[in-house]
C-alpha cells in the first residue's frame, strides 16, 4: 500500500488499490469516483490541452482572481488525482505503460479500439501485468453491429426502450431527467471491478470487463423486460402511474402535486377512507390490486376530485398518519436545502474547489460500519499530481505493489 502522497494511508475499504482512470465526461469518471470515495487511489489520466471535457461544463464557479472551476466536474472527480499525458507522444505513452504495469485497475471509456491503438489495450497490458482488472465502458459494448457508434445518454435511453415507458401517453418521447445511462453504467462497472479484484486476489489472474450503457439500462429494466417476456407486449407510457399497482402515482391537490403509493389492499383501504369513499373498496373495478391497475384511470378521476379539496401538505399529513407511503414532488432545492431527513443522513457536505471557492457536494450515499466517508482530496487541477504519481508509483517500493 502507498499513502497517496499525503503522508498517511487513506481511510476506506479500498485503501491501497491503485486505479488509472482514462475517463471522460460521466460514465468512466463516476465509476472512478465510487472507488475513490471508498479509499482507492484513483489517478485520472488527461490530455494536457484541456483535459476531461467536463472541466468546461457550467456551472463554473469563479474565485476573486477570476479562475473558474466546473462544479459538474467536481461532482464526479473528488478524491482523485490528475496527471497529464500526451497520448500522441511515444515517450509519454511508454511512461504511461509503466504506470499501468503497477496499478490494480484500469477504467477507460474511449470508443472501442482507441486504447489498443495506443498500445494500452487489455491484450497489450496483460502481457506485462496478468493480474490487471481492466474495465472498458462504452455506449454499446466492444463488439457487435453498434460497437463503433457514438453514444450519449439520450441516444442510449432511446435505444434501450427506456424512453418508450417514460412520459405521458400520446405525448412526445421524453428522457429521464437524470443521465441514467451514464450513471447506471458507472455503477455496474464499479460493482464488477470489485468482484474482479476479489478474483484477482484469489487467483492472480485479472479480468477484462466490457460494460455498456445499453446493457446497463436493459439490466435495470428487469420489471419491464419480464413483463414483455411474460405477455409478449411492451409497456407504455403511464406518466407517474404504475402498470401493476393503483393508486400509485402523482395526484394534484388544491395547490400542488404529491405522490402516493398504495401498493396493497390494506393501504388502498386507508386511501379510500382518507378521501371519504370507503365504498370504493367493494367496487368490482377496484377490489383487487389487478382490478385497480386495470381501471386506474377511472380510479384516478374519482380520487383527484377529492384531492382537489385540500392542500398537498394536508393530504401528506393524512397519508403519513395512516401509514400510506406518500411524498411531495420536491425540487433539488427542496430536498437538498430544506429536508430534515437528508440533513440527518449527512448527504450534503462542504467542498472547497481548487480555486478556493467554497461549495457543496453530495456524500457517498451508503453507510458502512467501520468506515466514514470523507472528502480526502478536492477535485484536482489538470495535471496537478503528474510528478507525484510517477515518482510514487514507479519508485522501488511502488513498483513492488503489483508483484
Catalytic positions, please? Answer: 182
CB 68 within 8 A of CB 60: yes
How far from the centroid of its chain's Cα atoms is residue 382's Cα?
23
Pairing of strands 257-261, 326-328: antiparallel
CB 144 within 8 A of CB 207: no
Give the phi and the psi of residue 274 in degrees, each rounded to 5: -60, -35
Residue in 9, 77, 41, 82 with CA at minimum distance from that of residue 385? 82
Using CA atoms, how far apart are residues 51 and 32, in angstroms rounded to an integer? 16
CB 116 within 8 A of CB 208: no
Q: Which residues pair with 41 in a beta bridge?
A: 18
Tell me which H or E stretch contains 390.
helix 386-393
For the chain, the residue count is 403
Residue in 353, 394, 396, 389 with CA at minimum distance from that of residue 84? 389
Tell me which H or E stretch contains 190.
helix 180-203
DSSP, residue by residue, 51-93: -SGGGGPSPEEE-TTS-EEEHHHHHTTTTEEEEE--TT-HHHH
Q: Which three cell numbers stand for residue 71?
A: 462544479
DSSP, residue by residue, 92-129: HHHHHHHHHTT-SEEEE-SPTTHHHHTT-SHHHHHHH-
Q: Which residues pair with 209 in a beta bridge?
A: 135
CB 132 within 8 A of CB 103: yes
Backbone CA torsion sign across 153, 156, 157, 163: positive
Amino acid at each position: 500500500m502507498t499513502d497517496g502522497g499525503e503522508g498517511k494511508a487513506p481511510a476506506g475499504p479500498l485503501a491501497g488499490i491503485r486505479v488509472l482512470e482514462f475517463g471522460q465526461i460521466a460514465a468512466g469518471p463516476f465509476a472512478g469516483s465510487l472507488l475513490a470515495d471508498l479509499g482507492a487511489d484513483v489517478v485520472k489520466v488527461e490530455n494536457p490541452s484541456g483535459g476531461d471535457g467536463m472541466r468546461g461544463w457550467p456551472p463554473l464557479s469563479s474565485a476573486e482572481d477570476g479562475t473558474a472551476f466546473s462544479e459538474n466536474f467536481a461532482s464526479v472527480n473528488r478524491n482523485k488525482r490528475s496527471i497529464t499525458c500526451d497520448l500522441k507522444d511515444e515517450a509519454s505513452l511508454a511512461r504511461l505503460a509503466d504506470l499501468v504495469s503497477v496499478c490494480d485497475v484500469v477504467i477507460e471509456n474511449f470508443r472501442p479500439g482507441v486504447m489498443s491503438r495506443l498500445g494500452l489495450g487489455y491484450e497489450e497490458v496483460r502481457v506485462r501485468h496478468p493480474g490487471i482488472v481492466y474495465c472498458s465502458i462504452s455506449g454499446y459494448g466492444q463488439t457487435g453491429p453498434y460497437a463503433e457508434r457514438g453514444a450519449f445518454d439520450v441516444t442510449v435511453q432511446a435505444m434501450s426502450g427506456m424512453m418508450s415507458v417514460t412520459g405521458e401517453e400520446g405525448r412526445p418521447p421524453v428522457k429521464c431527467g437524470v443521465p441514467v445511462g451514464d450513471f447506471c453504467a458507472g455503477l455496474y462497472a464499479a460493482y464488477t471491478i470489485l468482484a474482479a479484484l476479489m478474483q484477482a486476489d484469489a487467483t492472480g489472474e485479472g479480468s477484462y470487463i466490457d460494460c455498456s450503457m445499453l446493457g446497463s439500462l436493459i439490466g435495470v429494466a428487469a420489471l419491464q423486460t419480464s413483463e414483455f417476456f411474460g405477455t409478449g407486449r411492451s409497456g407504455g407510457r403511464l406518466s407517474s402511474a404504475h402498470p401493476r399497482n393503483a393508486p400509485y402515482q402523482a395526484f394534484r391537490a388544491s395547490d400542488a402535486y404529491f405522490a402516493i403509493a398504495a401498493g396493497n389492499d390494506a393501504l388502498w383501504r386507508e386511501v379510500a377512507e382518507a378521501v371519504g369513499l370507503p365504498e370504493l373498496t367493494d367496487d368490482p373495478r377496484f377490489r383487487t390490486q389487478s382490478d385497480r391497475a386495470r381501471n386506474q384511470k377511472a380510479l384516478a378521476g374519482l380520487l383527484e376530485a377529492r384531492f382537489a379539496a385540500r392542500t398537498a401538505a394536508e393530504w401528506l399529513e393524512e397519508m403519513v398518519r395512516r401509514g400510506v407511503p406518500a411524498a411531495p414532488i420536491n425540487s433539488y432545492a427542496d430536498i437538498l436545502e430544506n429536508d430534515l431527513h437528508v440533513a440527518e443522513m449527512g448527504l450534503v457536505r462542504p467542498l472547497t474547489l481548487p480555486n478556493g471557492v467554497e461549495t457543496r457536494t453530495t456524500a457517498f450515499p451508503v453507510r458502512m460500519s467501520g468506515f466514514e466517508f470523507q472528502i480526502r482530496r478536492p477535485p484536482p487541477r489538470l495535471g496537478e499530481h503528474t510528478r507525484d504519481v510517477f515518482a510514487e508509483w514507479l519508485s522501488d517500493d511502488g513498483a513492488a505493489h503489483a508483484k
